[in-house]
Each structure stands twice: as C-alpha cells, then as structure tokens.
Amino acid sequence: MSWLRQLFSRRRIYSDLSAEIQEHLEERIEELVNGGMSRKEAAAAARREFGNVTLIEEDSREVWRWASLENVMMDVRYGMRSLRKSPGFTAVVVLTLALGIGANTAIFSVVDAVLLKPLPFADASRLADIGSRSTLFDFEHLGVSLPDLVDIRASVPAFAAVSPYQSSSMEIGGEGGKPERVEGADISEDYFALLGIRPLYGRTFTSSDMQPGNRAVILSHSLWRERFGDNPDAIGKSIRLDGQPYTVIGVMPELPHTDFTSEQLWTPFIPTQEQITSRQDHALSVLARLAPGASMEQAQEQLNTLATRLAGAYPDADKGWTLHATSLKKFVVGYARTPLLILFCAVGFVLLIACANVSNLFLSRGWARRREFTIRTAIGATRGALLRQLAVESLLVSLLGGAGAFLIAVWTMRGLRAILPPEIPRVQDIHMESHVAWFTLGASLLAAVLSGLAPALLSSRQDVSAAIKEGGVGSGSNASGKSHNSLRQLLVVGEMALAVVLLIGALLAVQSFARILRVDPGFRPDHLVTIRIDFPKYRFAEVDRAVGFTQQVLDSTRAIPGVEAASAGIVFPLGDEVSETTFETEQSAKDENTSRQMARMNVVAPGFFHALGLPLMAGRDFDSDDRKGKTPVFIVNEMMARKYFGTPDVVGKRLSALRESKKTVWGEIVGVVGNVHDLKPGAEPKQEIYGPLSQAHFAGGVYLVVRTGPEPMAIVPAIQERIWQLDKDRPVTSIKTITEQIQEDNAPARSQSVLLGIFGGLGLILALVGVYGVMSYLVSQQTREIGIRMALGAERAQVLRMVIVHGLKLTLAGVVIGTGAALALTRFMSSLLSGISATDPLTFVAVAILLALVALAACFVPASRAMRVDPLVALRYE
C-alpha cells in the first residue's frame, strides 16, 4: 500500500523537496560568494546553472502524482477560484447556458416521453396497425372489413397474427350513482397476447368467450379502481353494461396515456352476420404482428398486391381502396412527431445562440487574461496546459449551467405540460427521468465544446514577447488580436442568422394561430353548450322512441329559465364528429359520368339553426309537420346551393341523399342556411345537407345544442336534472361549451405559437445581448483609432456612422444568411401552419427589418460612446 502511504505523506515530501532545492541554491551561492562574486551576481548565476526552479520543482512533484487526474483536479480548483473572482462573468455565462440548456432539457423530456420511449408492449417494434384509405372519403385512416381481413390473414405471410377489434361505448349501471357512459373495445382473444400485456388479476379472453351471448368483461385499471376500489375480489363479480349483467374476468395493469390505450373496458369481439359477409363495411380496426424475419416494407408490398387483387375481384366494395400497414408506435404517437421535432430544432437554435454568446464572453475574458497566460507560459506552462485549464473552466461553467438547466426544466415542467395540447400522446407521462439527466449532461458537454473550444484555442496561442511588450493594454493590432476579432464577428453573424430563423418560425406560428382565431365560424359560438345523449339499441330499438325522447328533453329544457333556445342534431358544427353522405342532384343523376359526390350531413331537430345563430337565407326551417310518410325534406347550405345548383335560389329543387338506412331517397329542398366555417383559415366551407330528425331512420344518439343567456355551464345541472326526470338511467356526457371546443381545437396551434414565441423571444434577446457585447467590445478596442481620426479632424457624426455601419454589415450578413436558411427550413413547418404560407414573404421581410432595427439600436449605445471619445484622453490612455 505504498501509494497510500505516499498519498498521505505527500505534503511532507513536497516541503522536503522545496527545502532541499533552496539549500542547494544557497550552498551554490555561498560558494560563488566565497569565490569573490557579489551576492546578487551569485544568485543569478546559481539560478542559471540550476535551471527553471519552478518548473523543476513542479516536475519533481509530478513524480509523486497520478499525473493527469491530479493536474485536472488542480485545474478545477484553480478554475473555481478564478470563476469566483469574476462573479459577474460567471453569473452571466451560467445563466445564459442554463437558459439555453434548460429549454433543451424541457423539450427533450417531452420528446423522450412522447416519441422516444418504446410502447410498453412486448417486442413493440414488430406490432403494426392495418388501416385503409379510399379515394372517395377525405379520411386519413379508415378500417378494414372482416372478409378483407380474412384475405389479409390468408395472403399476407409477413404478418404472423392479424387481430380485429372495434371501439365500443357502453352504459355502465349506476348503483346508486349517476349513470355513466364508458368507452371500450370489442377485442379478439389474441389481442392482449399480441401486445404482450398480462392481466393484473384474473385472465384475458379465450376462445370459449368468443361465443354469441357471452357476457365477459375485462376492466381497465382506472375503471376497476373507480368501481371496485382496488379490490382484487372484483374477479367474478357482475356489473351492468347496457342493461345486461357482465362478469368481470380480468383487470389490466395501468397503461400509458394514449388514444390507443384509453379504453376503460374490453368485451369479446363477436362479429354480426353482416360484418361476416359485407366487404363494404370498412370499419374494423386491426392490430397485427410481423412474422419473424419479415419487415414492415414487405408487409406493405404484400398488402398492396392484395388490395389490387381485391379491387379487381370486388369492385363494388374495394375499388379505390388501399391497405396500409403502420408501425404501432407511429400509429399511436406519429402525429406528435413534426410539432415536437420543430420545437426541438427551435431550442437547439436557442442553445447555439447561447453558446455563441458564451463563446464571445470567453474570448473577451481570454483577451483580458493575456497577462496571466503570458506569465504562466513564461514560467514553463505549455500550450497544452493552458488549453487544459481553459477547457476545465468552460466545462465548469457548462456543468453549472447544466445543473441550473435541470432545475429550470423541473420548475417549468408543470407549465410546459399545461401549454402542450392534451391530445399529445403520453404527455401526462412526462417525468424527469435518468434519460433526461443524461441528455442534460450531454447538452452541457456539447455546450462546453461549442462555446469553449475556439476561444481556448485562440487564447492559448501565446506570443510571449509581444504580449509582455504590449503590457496588457490592447490595441488588437497583433495577429492573435485579429483572429480574436474575426471569430467575434463570425459569432455575431452566426447568432443573427440563427435568431432570424427562430423568429421567422415563431412569427409564422403566431400568425397562423392569430388567423385561426380570426376565423368567423358563420354562427355565434358564445353561450352555447352541447350535451350528448346516447340511444343504445337495448333501450331505443325504434328510432321514433329516440326522436320522441329528444323532443321531450327539448321541451323541458326550453322551459328552464336562462335557456334562450334549444335544439339537437346528430353532430354539431366544429365538433369532433363529422358525418358525411353521398348525394345526387337531378342533373348529376342524369349524367352517367359524374363520380359519387360527398357532402356533410346532419340530421337536426327544428330550431337548430336558430339556436346556433346560423342565418336562414331562404325558405323555412324544419317543423313538426316534417314527419315520416311525408315527402322527405332537406335544407342545404349556401355552398351546396352555389356549387351544385349554381344558384342560391334552390328552394323547391329535388335532391337525394344516402340516408342512414342506406336507401337513397329523393326529397325536396325547403331552405338554405349560411355556411359553417371550420377553423381553418382560408379553407373553403364544406357543402352541407341537413335532414329533419323526425324523418330519421336511425339515431344512435344526439347532441343537445342549448343557447343560454347566462354562463352556459351554470344551466347544465338543471338540464341534467330534466333529462334524469325523464329517464333516470340516461347518461349525460360530453358536456362542453362551443367556446371550450374551439379552445381544444386550437390547442396545438396555441401551444406551438406560445412555445415558439417564447423560444424566438429568448433567441432574440440572447442575440441582441451578443451583438451589443461585441460592438461595445470592438468600440472599446478602437478607442485609439477613433481618437486619432478625431484628432485628424473626423466629425463625430462620421465616427458614429463608422461604428454603426460596421455593426450593420455584420447584422445584414447574419440576416441574409438567416433568411436563406429559413427559406430552406420553414417548409418543414408547413403542415402545422394554416392560412399562411411557410415562406410568407411579408413575415420574412418583417423579421429581417425588425432584426436589422434592433441590432442597429444595440449598436447605437457603443457607437454614441465612441462618438464621445475625447481624442486627448484616448491618445494619452494608450
């Protein structure tokens, strides 16, 4: 253990060594003095013979060290001391880096939780969703019919398992409590096995559960908690669903928060006769697992071949339809990818700007410390040692910044979660995890390299004699001063360019959001509340019962004080649900060549347009006389009238629409209403057909639309009370004001514009601080030059102009580069922008001018300082 002994005795070794060297010198001096030299001469001679005392002592000590580690420790101690000595510098650098890294940490924690973390399923990368698209419908993702699914099983060997499921919605009996509606899914027996999730208690479905009439149910963790209070005895208990007793056979563990895993309960998927036979029913969701060795691309190719074959064999059902395999992860979180990556880019830019600023500060500090470096070089420090010292210092501040960043990220996490739209999958699952800590460390190290490397290389390049001669008062005229300055200017150009890109991105997002807010929906969205009532088949076998019930609810709701108008429709404008129909006009019916035409379809009670505030342009509203057995009647919107009849004057014309019974019926247009505009700026309104609820053939449920005088939510309890008076078991769900609905729809645009706005602002401020700092520095360096110019008769205005022109040149270079980069980059945002082009010239020009102006202002302060330079003082000062 001699190294251990050495470690503890080292202090003594060192003092022995110093004493010994001193004695050596003394002895030599004495000898020389005895030989007749003066003491002063003798001391010099002794030192010359001995060599570099400090260096030799240092080398001798080094023998006893674990060399590199201890050198670094010494550098760390020295670095800390020198950082403590300049608290202002340290504070600014650490704060700048903390902001830059903190923004990255915060966004990374989101990216990690939402995009990077694998789905918590066994071998999740081999899972896929199979969906379809049709040339007929404007939907990204449609389902698959059961006969087509059977063909997929037979002719796509790339899939080892193909499992159909469908979402369901059931009423859960309120034992003493209020009736509720829960969302669930009908699943095949292999569903959970495919996902690799085992039940927390009980079991999953087996083939014996897949018989018609089976009433087994698996509960989600949250529903089990709510209904059974964490009690494992739930297994085997009975609960009432849609009025029937179901037996709980399993409870699943907690699953992440995504659309895909939001089900509250699962029941066996037992296909109806129609599902088994009808290829037209493109409605089932499909979960699949790739066969061993097969790739998603192979699966897609095989699906393409199959889709072509199906389209040929069954043109009625499958012509124009394509099948698509998507990895389950992309299916679940894919849509959050682009917005998050854009945010990640933005914070990356912020960090780069922060690094540029810190780099500038290091440069100035290195320049100010030339004296110190020169002395260290003179007493034997190599360039490597200086570099190591500087590297350690920039590492220290970066790590401090990283620690600050982590705190900032932790503190802003709550706010960030509030800003992010709730639809982003797994957004509730964001935590500060070890991943995030590692990322912060990595970002800190990167920041250290980015901000510290170039200044360290420059500052450690020492020209000893020049620096000593100069005596530390810089005119920046030597070579190293010049490269310092050109690096500085390069940094200014760079950060300006980055700020331009950031600001253009932010401004585009903000404008897009502002345009969405300015969209006039075509009706009065305030003081409107929508309430969902479902009409499950077990209670409302005939549609007339549902219609009658709706009528009763509307009558009693209208009687509530504060209710100004009440009506109902199977969907409502700006709602999440959209219903579409094919239709024919008399003209299109005659023309064989017209392809099938689609329009939005709503089935509404009388007074719907009045309640919404949607103007009736011509004709009449539906009334209680529009009953079954009479001529079907329609109301169309203005868009429909103009587009398909060429005139707003369409009352009395004939129209046929595919009604819910799937039978085409010809009817008469009795009215024209105004257009409803979706919240997409610049988008053309959709053509729309309305039919009367009293002539409907099917109604699975309706939305009540209630306009109130006072705050709508205050009236809701009274409405619920009326509904429960009529049917105490009717769940009342999806209670939402239209204003809330609009806010929800706008949430992604809002969060995008708020976050990009914050980061853009941060980038702008940092870049301005950078420009200001560099310009001030350059002016202070040019004091002598300015003094001479003024002594030679330069006007103050000329000096001012000189400094400002210099600053402007740098800024403009940055603005030009930044604008070019933005042109290349903003197109990646285009899918997130509505109503504004990703290369909107006005935005680009505005940002360029704005940045040039603020940079001008940032130059003005140092410039006016330069203008006040007193030539006498400036010259003497040198």
Partner 1 sequence: MRKPEQRDLFPGALEMMILRTLKRQPLHGYALARQIKRASNDLLQIEEGSLYPALQRLLKEELLKAEWGISSTNRRVRIYKLTSAGVKHLEREISRFETMFEGITRVLTPVKP
Read off the amino acid at residue 17.
Answer: L
Q: Which of 60, 214, 734, 839 binds partner 1 (CB under 8 A)?
A: 60
Report the residue number, 26 or 586, with the smaller CB distance to partner 1.
Answer: 26
Contact stretch for partner 1 (CB under 8 A) within 12-20, 390-398, 775-783, 826-834? 12-20
Min dist CB 822 to partner 1, Å, is 49
Separation between Cα atoms, residue 143 and residue 285, nearest integer Å: 5
Contacts of 213 (CB under 8 A, 6+ apart): none
Reading the block at residue 519, the tokens are 């969209």
Please enumerate, as own/partner, the contacts of 515-518 that have beta carbons within 8 Å and a separation of 24 or more.
515/681, 515/682, 515/834, 515/835, 515/836, 516/679, 516/680, 516/681, 516/746, 516/749, 516/834, 516/835, 517/746, 518/681
Q: Is 423 one of the binding residues for partner 1 (CB under 8 A)? A: no
Among 7, 9, 15, 23, binds partner 1 (CB under 8 A): 23
Per CB under 8 A, 51 contacts partner 1: yes
734 binds partner 1 (CB under 8 A): no
Q: Work out whether 726 is an interface residue with partner 1 (CB under 8 A).
A: no
Secondary structure (H, E, C), 724-778: HHHCCCCCEEEEEEHHHHHHHHHHHHHHHHHHHHHHHHHHHHHHHHHHHHHHHHH
Is 856 a binding residue for partner 1 by CB under 8 A? The answer is no
Counting contacts by CB under 8 A, is residue 49 touching partner 1? yes
Residue 9 binds partner 1, judged by CB under 8 A: no
Binding partner 1 (rule: CB under 8 A), the pick from 45, 56, 283, 850 is 56
Residue with smaller CB distance to partner 1, 24 or 545: 24
Joined together, the tokens standing for residue 69 give 């580690």
Q: Which residue number, 53 or 651, has a Cβ lying nearer to partner 1?
A: 53
Smallest separation (angstroms) from partner 1 to the CB of 67: 7
Q: How far is the CB of 79 from partner 1 (least distance, A)?
A: 20
- Taking CB under 8 A as the rule, does residue 16 contact partner 1? yes
Looking only at the bridges linking them, the beta strands covering 664-673 and 633-637 are parallel
Backbone φ, ψ for residue 735 (5° rounding): -80, 120
At closest approach, how far in Å is the CB of 462 from partner 1? 17
Helix pair angle (738-781, 841-867), 10° resolution: 30
User: Does the footprint of partner 1 cover residue 453 (CB under 8 A)?
Assistant: no
Lookup: tokens for 247: 């037996």
| Candidate list 17, 468, 651, 808; residue touching partner 1; CB under 8 A | 17
Q: How many CA atoms lie within 13 A of 223 on its CB side?
A: 24
For residues 450 and 352, the answer to whether their CB atoms sit within 8 Å is yes
* Tokens representing residue 837 in the block: 């082009």
Q: Quick check: 443 and 348 in contact, CB under 8 A?
A: no
Shortest distance in whole angstroms from residue 13 CB to partner 1: 8
Q: Does 729 bind partner 1 (CB under 8 A)?
A: no
Q: Classify burial at 551, counting beta carbons within 10 Å of its beta carbon; exposed 0-12, middle 13-18, buried 19 or more.
A: middle
Q: According to the binding rule CB under 8 A, does residue 21 interact with partner 1?
A: yes
376 near partner 1 (CB under 8 A): no
Q: H/E element holding 673?
A: strand 664-673
Which CB, 29 or 859, lies closer to partner 1? 29
Q: For partner 1, give the closer residue by CB, 73 or 714.
A: 73
Give the helix/strand (H/E) hosting 193.
helix 191-195
Q: Verify binding: residue 50, partner 1, rule CB under 8 A.
A: yes
Residue 72 makes contact with partner 1 by CB under 8 A:
no
- C-beta of 20: minimal distance to partner 1 in Å? 5
Amino acid at 239: I
Q: Could you give the string, one character per residue 326-355, with x where binding to partner 1 holds by CB under 8 A and - elsewhere?
A: ------------------------------
Q: Rounded to a whole number, what is the largest CA-CA distance in the chain?
A: 138
Q: Is position 28 an interface residue for partner 1 (rule: CB under 8 A)?
A: yes
Q: Give the nearest distance from C-beta 33 to partner 1 in angstroms.
A: 13
CB of 66 to partner 1, least distance (A): 12
**Number of residues in contact with partner 1, rule: CB under 8 A?**
29
Report the alpha-carbon distance of residue 25 to residue 251 in Å, rounded.
87
Residue 387 found at the interface with partner 1 (CB under 8 A):
no
Q: Is 643 in the site for partner 1 (CB under 8 A)?
A: no
Indicate the SS3 state at residue 474.
coil
Total residue count of the chain as it appears in this document: 878
- Using CB under 8 A as the binding rule, whether residue 138 contacts partner 1 is answered as no
Handedness of CA 383, 389, 392, 394 (dihedral sign): negative
CB nearer to partner 1: give 9 or 594. Answer: 9
CA–CA distance, 400 with 387 (Å, rounded to integer): 20
Pairing mode, strands 321-327 and 265-268: unpaired
State CA 355 to chain mean position distance: 23
Residue 438 interacts with partner 1 (CB under 8 A)?
no
Q: How far is the CB of 12 from partner 1 (least distance, A)?
A: 11
Q: Which of 33, 37, 43, 53 binds partner 1 (CB under 8 A)?
A: 53
Helix (H, G, I), strand (E, B) or coil at 463: coil
Give the residue carrying structure tokens 């074959």.
Answer: 309
Q: How far apart are CA 855 and CA 106, in angstroms?
A: 29
Beta-bridged to residue 219, according to DSSP, are 251, 265
Closer residue to partner 1 (CB): 26 or 230: 26
Least gap, CB of 47 to partner 1 (angstroms): 9
CB closer to partner 1, 10 vs 728: 10
Assess 2 for contact with partner 1 (CB under 8 A): yes
What's the min distance (Å) between Cβ of 93 and partner 1? 30
Contacts with partner 1, 813-852, as mask; x by CB under 8 A: ----------------------------------------
For position 860 contacting partner 1 by CB under 8 A, the verdict is: no
- Contacting range for partner 1; rule: CB under 8 A; set: 10-18, 223-231, 421-429, 817-825: 10-18
Among 9, 20, 429, 624, which residue interacts with partner 1 (rule: CB under 8 A)?
20
Q: In 461-520, which residue ranges form alpha helices assigned H by DSSP?
A: 464-470, 479-518
H or E element: which one contains 533? strand 528-534
Q: Tell me how far, at minimum, the Cβ of 839 lies from partner 1, in Å.
A: 56
H or E element at residue 688:
strand 688-692
Q: Which stretch binds partner 1 (CB under 8 A): 54-62, 442-450, 664-672, 839-847?
A: 54-62
Please report whether residue 74 would count as binding partner 1 according to CB under 8 A. no
User: For partner 1, which residue of 9, 15, 38, 52 counts as binding (CB under 8 A)?
Assistant: 52
Q: Does 183 bind partner 1 (CB under 8 A)?
A: no
Q: Which of 15, 39, 41, 62 binds partner 1 (CB under 8 A)?
A: 62
Q: Which stretch binds partner 1 (CB under 8 A): 23-31, 92-100, 287-295, 502-510?
A: 23-31
Output the six-digit token pair for 547: 């219609």
Contact present, 383 and 461 (Cβ < 8 Å): yes
Which residues here bind partner 1, judged by CB under 8 A? 2, 6, 13, 16-17, 19-21, 23-24, 26-28, 49-53, 55-57, 59-64, 67, 382
